[in-house]
Amino acid sequence: MANLASTLNEEQLQILKDAALDFALSHGLVVRPPPPAHTNHTDSYDAATLQGGVINAPVALFPTPFPVKAFNNAVKIQPLYNQLVHDISQDDAFLKEIMESLSTVDDFVKRLYDLYLEVKKEGIAQSASLGVHRSDYIIHLNSGQDFSEAEIKQVELNTISVSFGSLSSLTGDLHRYLQATTGYFSDKIDSSALPSSDSIESIASGLASAHKHYGSKTAKVMMVVQPGERNAFDQRWIEYNLLKKHRVVLIRKTLAEIADHGRLDPKTKALYIGDQEVSVAYYRSAYATTDYPTEKEWEGRRLAERSLAIKCPTVAYQLVGTKKVQQVLAAPGQLERFVKDPETVAQLRASFTGLYPLDSSPEGLAAYEAALMNSDELVMKPQREGGGNNIYGKDIQESLRTLTAEQRNAYILMDIIRPPITKNVLLRKGQLQRADVVSELGVYGIYLHDGYKVIRNDNGGHLLRTKGVESNEGGVAAGFAVIDSVLLV
């Protein structure tokens, strides 16, 4: 399979391309195009398409080989990560240790932590919490190690606005369709090695469970979205499945609209948008500073966080997703604060890669000095989501020299994971590109807790993102990668 993408001729690739584009447009595997001002003049779309139409979501034309042992392990440990997020979110002292220091150098984290403290002081109106998480991994292959024995290493754990649950399922459907109808002009792909992902349904199912727990049949789930969302179709599938399979209506509101039209019932703190009661506030925004251009957006977030609506996620869950928490958990003895079973600790630690602080601790100072000497095998990560924020290679040294000791605390260092390189053909905006690629696996988790006990703790499907080897970043929405699916080997 690794060589199949390079062996097919142009006529065969054109047949696959045409079939893939028709499938994508027929099944909602699409995104809105960027605004004309951000569109390269060489793109092949006319003005009408750019202003109001859709384009195919960026996808890989072929599924990418992935070791079955590593895939099954990632799926197996996702419920462990779901539980870990919740347990950390309940530990005020642990969060205080990390967030108070981060708050001095990161204004965004400070606003989130201040909101967390305000709601705790006022009294939490809703004890239940819903998590829709995604743990992202790259497979690591040691020198001389067989591909089938490669191990997963965690890149990050996302706790807010995890995307592409719907489009990843559809991309798997696309690859199974192409295999069934063309065989990929080869006998190298077995359909049984193309696992389906139920993430297109699991996220809606999780929201439905939270809505049911809320207890009002007339209330609605609210998806908190960004203005002018290009990835709306990934989100719409959640809305459609929520209605079709669970008979629950979803409304879409921005943070500013919540501030303008929202209110809390003075007795129950139920959240109303106009006359519509909200059962679940599900965030597909609110993860970056750009989502809060004015104080109005913070007012909207504050109103929702103080309300009776079940949050997905709570601000506590969001704080647990910061890179600093990931780095601290990798330190000796820290994971054991939350996980008592030695076997579970071993399973989680096996997925960790090298993580180092950049604070004023002896470990942080040692990591700083080491990075100034050699940063080729490191990545420097801030407390940001959304792609495009990491620093690599020699740029790390330049950045470290410009930061004060206090400012360095806003970052962590991570060992670069070197995955195996394969070949694929990428389909972007209707055009094909042959490329040497690497891939990143994301596993979704659905977790619902009522404040006293776990109601749901499930695996929620998977996502594969594939990018050219020349790209350091991996975000599809940020324009670095394409959506893919796994071919288990």
Q: Which residues are catalytic?
A: 134, 156, 158, 163, 323, 381, 385-386, 465
Do the annotations mark residue 311 as ligand-binding?
Answer: no
Q: Which residue type occupies 27?
A: H
Do the annotations mark residue 409 as ligand-binding?
Answer: no
CB 381 within 8 A of CB 414: yes
Do the annotations mark residue 390 as ligand-binding?
Answer: yes
Do the annotations mark residue 286 as ligand-binding?
Answer: yes
Q: For residue 120, what are the CA distances in angstroms to 53, 259, 300? A: 45, 21, 18
Do the annotations mark residue 401 as ligand-binding?
Answer: no
Token pair 């649950």 in the structure block, residue:
165
Do the annotations mark residue 430 as ligand-binding?
Answer: no
Do the annotations mark residue 230 as ligand-binding?
Answer: yes
Token pair 């060589």 in the structure block, residue:
3
Do the annotations mark residue 381 as ligand-binding?
Answer: yes
Do the annotations mark residue 295 as ligand-binding?
Answer: no
Do the annotations mark residue 98 as ligand-binding?
Answer: no
Dist CA 197 CA 232 (whole Å): 20
Render the burial of 94-106: b for 16+ CB within 10 Å, e for the rest: bbeebbebbbebb
Do the annotations mark residue 236 as ligand-binding?
Answer: no
Do the annotations mark residue 388 as ligand-binding?
Answer: yes
Do the annotations mark residue 306 as ligand-binding?
Answer: no
Do the annotations mark residue 382 as ligand-binding?
Answer: yes
Do the annotations mark residue 473 as ligand-binding?
Answer: yes
Do the annotations mark residue 385 as ligand-binding?
Answer: yes
Do the annotations mark residue 341 as ligand-binding?
Answer: no
Do the annotations mark residue 160 as ligand-binding?
Answer: yes
Do the annotations mark residue 184 as ligand-binding?
Answer: no
Do the annotations mark residue 392 as ligand-binding?
Answer: yes
Do the annotations mark residue 56 as ligand-binding?
Answer: no
Do the annotations mark residue 229 as ligand-binding?
Answer: yes
CB 310 within 8 A of CB 283: no
Do the annotations mark residue 391 as ligand-binding?
Answer: no
User: Strand pairing of 454-468 and 431-449?
Assistant: antiparallel
Binding positions for ATP are: 156, 323, 381-390, 392, 414-417, 440, 467, 473
Binding positions for Mg(2+) are: 156, 158, 385
Binding positions for substrate are: 134, 160-163, 229-231, 235, 284-287, 465, 476-477
Binding positions are: 134, 156, 158, 160-163, 229-231, 235, 284-287, 323, 381-390, 392, 414-417, 440, 465, 467, 473, 476-477
